[in-house]
Chains A and B, each alone.
Chain A
């Protein structure tokens, strides 16, 4: 089955610093990956759609200069939280699917990154 790896699983950083989160598709190529954020006891909210070789598409209300997305290869997308603040503390999760399979078979999620900004 499709495997999505996300790293790091947990990070604590100081306010004002930047944090990079990686999402890799291990056994398939992903032209599209998705980044979600989840606050405690809340649902997953789509932040942006990462497109290989082109700019990411951000959801309304998500600052593209704050959450930088790079999808430079068919197996890697990165999310960089720039100048992090405590309110950015959250659970960030990526997802992907082999081309053409997401609609029918669902998307696979990475294991998530728990970011704490102190």
Chain B
């Protein structure tokens, strides 16, 4: 089993739609979780950290389910500019190393 798994997509959704991505992780001791966004041929940029209580930033909501070992990202009212690859990132406990998922491609269509 991969340490971090994501559905590669692509998810093609119309503007204004709500879309959700899940990401599963294998190390139950993992403590830190993040969603990064990566545009084509660019570096990843932090979208949001994922807290145990869940967190929301505008149209974006991230949640953590420790029992089932997954994190989720919900995007409401999708914009064309949301088109990108969304990377799930897990930081295993006791290390400074990030483990990246392969990313989920999102294409928002006009």
- List residues of A whose CB falls within 8 A of some B CB: 6, 32, 34, 42-46, 49, 91, 93, 95, 102-112, 114
Inter-subunit contact A42/B42 (CB<8 Å): no
B interface, CB within 8 angstroms of A: 31-32, 34, 36, 41-46, 49, 87, 89, 91, 96-98, 100-103
> What residues on B are CB-neighbors of A111 within 8 Å?
42-43
CB pair B45 A44 closer than 8 Å:
no
* Chain A nearest CB, measured from B64 CB (Å): 14
Contact B43 A109 (CB under 8 A): yes
Contact of A106 among B34, B97, B101, B102 (CB under 8 A): B34
- For residue A109, give the distance in angstroms from its CB to the closest CB of chain B: 4
Q: Taking the nearest CB of chain B, how far is it from the CB of A113, in angstroms?
A: 10
Q: Report A65 CB to chain B, min CB distance, Å.
A: 22
Given contacts A106-B46, A112-B43, 19 further A-B contacts (CB under 8 A): A6-B43, A34-B96, A43-B100, A43-B102, A44-B100, A46-B98, A49-B97, A93-B43, A93-B44, A102-B96, A103-B91, A104-B32, A105-B46, A106-B49, A107-B46, A107-B98, A109-B43, A109-B44, A111-B43
Once bound together, how far apart are the Cα atoms of A26 and B101, in whole Å? 28
CB A117 to nearest CB in B, in angstroms, measures: 18
Known A44-B44, A111-B42; contact A103-B31, beta-carbon cutoff 8 A: yes
A34, B98: Cβ atoms closer than 8 Å? yes
By beta carbon, the residue of chain B nearest A42 is B102
- Cross-chain pairs A/B with CB under 8 angstroms, 22 sampled: A42-B102, A43-B101, A43-B102, A44-B44, A44-B98, A45-B100, A46-B98, A49-B96, A93-B43, A103-B31, A103-B32, A103-B96, A104-B49, A105-B46, A106-B36, A106-B46, A106-B49, A106-B89, A107-B98, A110-B43, A111-B42, A114-B41
